[in-house]
Amino acid sequence: EIPAQKPDIILLVIESLSSINSFRTSGVQDLLPSFDRLSEQGLLFTHFMANHAASEGGIIALLSGFPPLHYPTATPLMFDEFAAQPAVIHDYRRAGYFVEFLTNADLSFIGLDRYLDGLDIDLARGRDEVAEFQSAPRFVQDAPSDRFLYSEALQRLDQRAEDENPWLLVLATSSTHLPDTHPEGGDDTAEAVWDWAMARLEEFVGGLEQRDFFDNGLLLITGDHRQMRPLTEAETERYGDSARTRVPLLAIGPGLPGGEIDNRLFQQADLLRYLGRINRPGERLTAHPVWVERYNRIYGRVESINRFRVFELKQNELAAYPVRVLGTDLQWLQGRPESYRFIEAGIHAQRSAHQFARNGDAPACGQGLAGGVAVSGGQQGLSVWRLQASNINALRNPEGPPDFVSEIGSGSDDAHSRVLEWYLAFLDVEETGTYWFRSAQGSRLCMSINGHLVLDQLGEMAMQAPVELEQGRHLLDIRFAPGTSSAGMGLQWVEPGLSKWRWRPVPTTRLAPALPRESQQN
């Protein structure tokens, strides 16, 4: 959910920024007094959680919008494996955002450049792509200091002052990476390095204020992961099993209250996905945060690749449930939450969809499936058009069907495998929440809701996917090749709020035909 006003957005990812070091966030350590002062200007999330222990996992979670779960047939090279996957950042590009990634680190490190290329980022630059960085002194990670990074970001803001398109800038710092190395001659201690880094952050925010960025701009400050140091007793006592996940999130911008604390559960993978909700305190952000264990290489083997934790809030306490997944077998190792079936379905859907995309079993349907659709009501059921096409590729045509032969009523049995059908309907949703959709195994179809691709089922395996839908009417668009499955399309859903996970056919009473413009010429 992108903010309706489409503000300019700066997502600042600070290396190793940890909740335990912010007294205002944790109530324990006071290593970040400058950050705490700055947090009085915005909304501070004290239960924000990282999805992984390393930079690559944090960046993938933030930009792709998924916990970085390993999936079957994938290698342990996380940036490479998620480069070709669907990503929440694509939604921002489709909404008109110019998406830019800027870091003072080496873009080629562990394949970050390949990941950004795979996401089709509009502009990605790092240590070797920015002229000022190339001539600057280098410190930890063989990178220029964050002072140069913030200066370049402000220059980019000046350059885009007259641009009418919204801007999403992702900034990734490096100066607080271990080992502690002061960039300007101070002590090489955590205290001195973080004091310096936070002073640069305050200067950067001051630069944004001077440029009136916050008139219509949103600054998000978080960490890529918790600090890579052993857990302390104070951390474990404060956060329990979730201690390794804890990074702060600070949001500063128009419409956000200054100096307030938000205690809702929120994870990195949902930040950009549910950004439009952060100023609505009554709405849920993340129901079940996921922590993915870091992959370990031991004697040439990859270990812990199939382990993660799921968290659930129970009676104001955060319970952790360790999980191991082997193929399609998901094992809860120490109990399981009440809504485990929903959680399992989400995990299986994510891993299987990523596997299909990697192996080419389900080529992309294409975006803009709604084509030229006029919003008009009709009788109950689906409007169906038979297309003069015998190739499944016609399903991917973003402009809509090439030719109408005849309109046929829903439930017609005279379709055959050389004919493609285009289904349009308004779907009436009675309750806001997460809806799951699937179709019959073997059916070949592309389905979108409100123009956003939901099911991309052009392979032989059945797919399922979750969609967040508000109460009201939504446009359902399906391109289907009849004859590819003996069960037909077999569209089913799971509605929110059910006590038991159960697939049911989408009832025709919830559907009203929508007519494409071409059919309304007469």
Q: What is the pLDDT of residue 226?
A: 96
Q: What is the pLDDT of residue 496?
A: 84
pLDDT tens readout for residues 188-245: 999 999 999 999 999 999 999 999 999 999 999 999 999 999 999 999 999 999 999 9
Contact, 35 vs 198, CB < 8 A? yes
Q: What is the pLDDT of residue 304?
A: 59
Q: What is the pLDDT of residue 74?
A: 76
Pick from 48, 115, 15: which is nearest to 268 by CA? 48
Q: Cα separation of 516 and 370, whole Å? A: 9
Question: Is pLDDT above 90 for 407?
Answer: no
Which residues, 6+ apart, have CB-to-CB distance to 316 below 8 Å?
Answer: none
For residues 222 and 162, the model is more confident at: 222
Minimum mean pLDDT range among 12-16, 304-308, 373-377, 430-434: 373-377
Residue-by-residue DSSP string for 341-361: HHHHHHHHHHHHHHHHHHHTS
Element (H, E) at 154: helix 146-159
β partners of residue 297: 302
Question: Is pLDDT above 60 for 95?
Answer: yes
Residue-by-residue DSSP string for 385-440: EEES--SGGGGG-TT--S-EEEEE-TT-----TT-EEEEEEEEEESS-EEEEEE--
pLDDT tens readout for residues 266-306: 999 999 999 999 999 889 999 999 999 886 544 444 555 67
Q: Cα separation of 139 and 336, whole Å? A: 46
Is the CATH number of domain 383-520 2.40.50.220?
Answer: no
Q: What is the pLDDT of residue 403?
A: 37
Contact, 308 vs 291, CB < 8 A? yes
The structure's pTM equals 0.73
Q: What is the pLDDT of residue 201?
A: 98
Map out the domains of the chain as residue ranges: 8-286, 383-520
Q: What is the pLDDT of residue 334?
A: 92
Q: Give the pLDDT band (50/70/90) at residue 146.
A: very high
Element (H, E) at 117: helix 112-118
Question: Is pLDDT above 70 for 341?
Answer: yes
pLDDT tens readout for residues 113-127: 999 999 999 999 999
For residues 161 and 112, the model is more confident at: 112
Q: What angle do CA 53, 189, 297 make, to 5 degrees?
A: 30
Q: Cα separation of 55 and 61, whole Å? A: 10
Q: What is the pLDDT of residue 482?
A: 65
How big, in percent rounded to 5, are the helix, strand and coil portions of the chain? 25, 25, 45
Q: What is the pLDDT of residue 439?
A: 81
Question: What's domain 8-286's architecture?
Answer: 3-Layer(aba) Sandwich (3.40)
Question: Is pLDDT above 80 for 469?
Answer: yes
Q: Cα separation of 381 and 359, whole Å? A: 36
